[in-house]
Amino acid sequence: MAKIIGERLRSYRNQKNWSQEQLAEYAGLHSTYIGQLERGEKNATIESISKVAAALGVSLSTLFENISAYDTDDIPSKCYELVQKQSVKDQKYLLEILDAIVNYKES
């Protein structure tokens, strides 16, 4: 789960075009720690995750949604993780593609 949260934190940071140093400053944490969180090397306290999420403007519920600790074959969760890693522009593009595929299959 630490790796998934780390990937999400990196994704949100990248969407803001922030460096790890900038995020660390806004969250009141060390940049080395931010890197460790993003790589899933640290099991952070809820307090630290809360600081990072607040700095990113993301709620904890959004950060932790759709995480399945037990079912690694959950296809919707894998799709969510894949899309979440993309830029907002690419997320919109992927949604259009998926919508076109679904519409084609339904017709």
Tens of pLDDT, residues 2-30: 888 898 999 999 999 999 999 999 999 99
**Percent of the chain surpassing pLDDT 90:** 46
Cα four-point dihedral sign 10, 84, 58, 100: positive
Cβ(30)–Cβ(103) below 8 Å: no
DSSP reduced 3-state for 24: helix
- On whether the pTM is more than 0.75, the answer is no
Cβ(68)–Cβ(54) below 8 Å: no
